[in-house]
Amino acid sequence: MNAFGQRIAALIAAQGPISVAEFMALANSAYYAARDPFGGGGDFITAPEISQTFGEMLGLWCVQVWHDQGKPKHKRLIELGPGRGTLMADALRAARVMPDFLDDLEVVLVETSPTLKAAQQETLKDVRVPAHWVSQFDSSLADRPLLLLANEFFDALPIRQFVKTARGWCERMITTDPNGALIFALSPVPAPDAVIPSDRVGASEGAVYERADPARSLMEDIAHTIARNGGGALLVDYGYDEPGFGETLQAVSNHAFATILDAPGESDLSAHVDFLALVAAAKGAGASVFGPTTQGEFLQNLGIVRRTEQLVASYKSPHLSLWTDVDRLIAPEQMGTLFKALAILPVAAPQPPGF
């Protein structure tokens, strides 16, 4: 066990078993604070790092949504979990096609990692719009029209896990074995009925249910702001849009799956996003929802193929890698189907592009 795992074991010894959600929050906080995990030399690669066209499409989406709602003044463009700042840089470059979009625009990046914040500041140092950083989305960002982007952000938010047993749904916890190693265990007391959705009550023994309360709460806050002030939110992430899905918690290190408990803080912990839960949360907050649709269909509807043709034509020599990169984003057997897009808009707003 690594040093951070020993600290978690000491915490458990002092206060008892912790939930998967608490473990996930502790481990991911340590993981992101200490490194830049993106790219070929990191642990995983995200869509903005694969092709500039991804960020460009999302930037143009924001411009169109803003235009369709009458070009509201004093808007705010927010990105949750901005990585290296690549997506935001590409989005703002594409937004120059409508210069008045950049007028009175405030850019806010929600980031908790000092390492990644420094990378973002370097990437965005020449951006000509005001930008600042905050550690969380809260009420201070709910006072004006909001355009929000979140790519592979919700999958890293903490989840609770419940396992169906003979005595009911019991929460999966993390404790230690006699040798002090971290292990999974089940709570001896079944969870309250209200915690488990009605469609899972009749599940067979051994079934796993994952509940992402922080994701639902955040979605409610975002949707409420948009419903009241206008704008739109666009979420792109991997996940499922059908009920009854099972266990998805995973650890990734060096572009491969890793063991969840062996070296906490040294791998990225994530879980597939429950898009149905996010849809319900957004609608409950008074917003309109479009999607989820697959990432491949969404990007193609926005014109990513045409944009790639333009890029290829701009080079004097063939750049086949441009097509390879875009294919990775839209092909069903790669990211095109597993990843999905979800849009949140005010109830009276026109249908957004891509859906």
pLDDT of residue 318: 62
Token pair recorded at residue 80: 């949750």
- In this structure, of 41-50, 115-124, 134-143, the range with the lowest mean pLDDT score is 41-50
Q: Is residue 257 part of a domain?
A: no
Q: Is residue 17 part of a domain?
A: no
Token pair recorded at residue 232: 């739109």
Q: Is residue 309 part of a domain?
A: yes
Confidence of residue 307 (pLDDT cuts 50, 70, 90): very high
Q: In 49-59, which positions are buried (b, 16+ CB within 10 angstroms) versus exposed (e)?
A: bbbbbbbbbbb
For 55-114, the pLDDT digits (tens) are: 999 999 999 999 999 999 999 999 999 999 999 999 999 999 999 999 999 999 999 999
Backbone dihedral angles phi then psi of residue 113, each to the nearest 5 degrees: -90, 120
Confidence of residue 44 (pLDDT cuts 50, 70, 90): confident
Highest mean pLDDT among 191-205, 305-319, 322-336: 322-336
Q: Is residue 146 part of a domain?
A: yes
DSSP single-letter state for residue 43? S
Mean pLDDT of the chain: 94
pLDDT of residue 11: 96
- Contacts with 103 (C-beta within 8 Å, 6 or more apart), sequence order: none
For 148-184, the pLDDT digits (tens) are: 999 999 999 999 999 999 999 999 999 999 999 999 9
Secondary structure class of 161 (helix, strand, coil): strand
CA–CA separation, 346 and 355 (whole Å) = 15
Token pair recorded at residue 353: 């592009």
pLDDT of residue 222: 98
Q: Is residue 228 part of a domain?
A: yes
Identity of residue 132? H
Instruction: Measure Cα distances from 78 to 97, 127, 135, 226, 286 in Å.
Output: 19, 15, 12, 12, 20
Q: Is residue 127 part of a domain?
A: yes
pLDDT of residue 149: 98
Residues linked to residue 289 through DSSP beta bridges, in sequence order: 344
Our count of domains for the chain comes to: 1
Q: Is residue 80 part of a domain?
A: yes
> Is the separation of the CB atoms in 133 and 52 below 8 Å?
no
CA–CA separation, 170 and 158 (whole Å) = 18
Q: What CATH number is given to the structural domain containing 303?
A: 3.40.50.150
Whole domain around residue 236: which residue ranges? 51-153+215-241+271-345
Residues linked to residue 274 through DSSP beta bridges, in sequence order: 240
> Which secondary structure element, helix H or strand E, spans residue 267, and what is its range?
none
Residues linked to residue 295 through DSSP beta bridges, in sequence order: none
Q: Residue 221 pLDDT more than 90? A: yes
Its pTM surpasses 0.85: yes
Q: Is residue 264 part of a domain?
A: no
For 222-278, the pLDDT digits (tens) are: 999 999 999 999 999 999 998 777 899 999 988 898 999 999 999 999 999 999 999
